[in-house]
Amino acid sequence: MPALYEVRPAPGEGLGCFSSAPILAGTLILTEKPLFAVREPRTNAAVIAAFSDLTSNEKDLYLTLHALDPTNANGARVIDIFNSNAWQTGSRTSILPLAARFNHSCIPNASFAWNPRLSRITVHTIVAIPANTQIKLSYELPYQTLDSRREKLSAYGFACSCSACGCDSAASDARRARMVVLNARIRVAARKQIWSAEVPKAALELVRLLKEEGLVGEALGLAYHEAAAGWKRIGRLDFAIRYAKRELDICTLCYGADSPFVDSSREFLGILREERLAKIARKVSVVDALDLAVGEIALDS
């Protein structure tokens, strides 16, 4: 099978990963085992110790990765490279030399995920990607305004130039500022168990804004879950199932069918379906009982 992407120079971004041919949404383009991982909360000493345990070839590979300050040497260079390239993988932070070659976009076209079942990371495309197009991941959470993202991304030594940070920054910033408010509102309502609304308005608005922003990956799946949970709380299991199906589709797209996160999403959908069937059965039982009562009254008369 030919390689789906190739690593080559990306103007202004060092190296980047470019599609070799058109790639369909949901395609697994990379799976990788960490070169090494450090348990959180990590220390510089733990990073240096983990680096010291590598083979000579592995150390050479590690030292080819990007460093924010190329003049650093010895332990300082090891720490610099780690901070510039590490990914969160469950309870650990890992170095993944292949995944490290993917550049950032605030509107990514691929999704990075940790699969604890495989003890490997995966990268799936989340939209159809034309040939000769750079494949990008997001290094940051979506519910952040432009200034917040710029501040955090500065730690990697670059300024993002995606549409959300450039030509569409004003509209994007308005959407993301609203996303921050909606996400906080959903979290507070869940913590305080406030379910007075007739519809899960915050989750539904969040879904709409994520789509408008072009964020069709993990964040959209989580918003679909919140919408489904909201419909469930007010007894609209038909709508809850509809949104849970969309959540499952997004999870499968981002994580792959073998991910335990997909299993959890499928289980949630199954619970909703069982509850709806039970609810229908109860209604049928009530109707049957009423029909029987009416029949008995007719016989008595």
**CATH code at 213?**
1.25.40
- Rounded Cα distance between 135 and 158, Å, is 17
pLDDT tens per residue, range 42-61? 999 999 999 999 999 999 99
DSSP sequence for 290-301: HHHHHHHHHHH-
Boundary (domain end) residue, out of 106, 135, 156: 156
299 in a structural domain: no
122 shares its domain with 181 = no
114 shares its domain with 240 = no
Q: 26-30, 123-127, 161-165, 244-248: lowest mean pLDDT where? A: 161-165
* CA 277 to each of CA 226, 241, 242, 267: distance values in angstroms, whole numbers, following the listed order: 22, 12, 15, 15
Range of the domain at 87: 5-156
**CATH code at 86?**
2.170.270.10
Average pLDDT, whole number, for the chain? 92
- Binned at pLDDT 50, 70 and 90, residue 299 comes out as very low
How far from chain centre, in Å, is Cα 13? 23
132-144 average pLDDT score: 96
- Binned at pLDDT 50, 70 and 90, residue 285 comes out as confident
Question: Is the distance from CB of 113 to CB of 260 less than 8 angstroms?
Answer: no
Name the H helices within the chain. Answer: 44-52, 56-62, 74-85, 146-153, 169-192, 201-213, 218-233, 237-255, 260-300
pLDDT of residue 284: 79
18 in a structural domain: yes
pLDDT tens per residue, range 227-269? 999 999 999 999 999 999 999 999 999 999 999 999 999 999 9
pLDDT of residue 194: 63
Count of domains forming the chain: 2
pLDDT of residue 222: 97
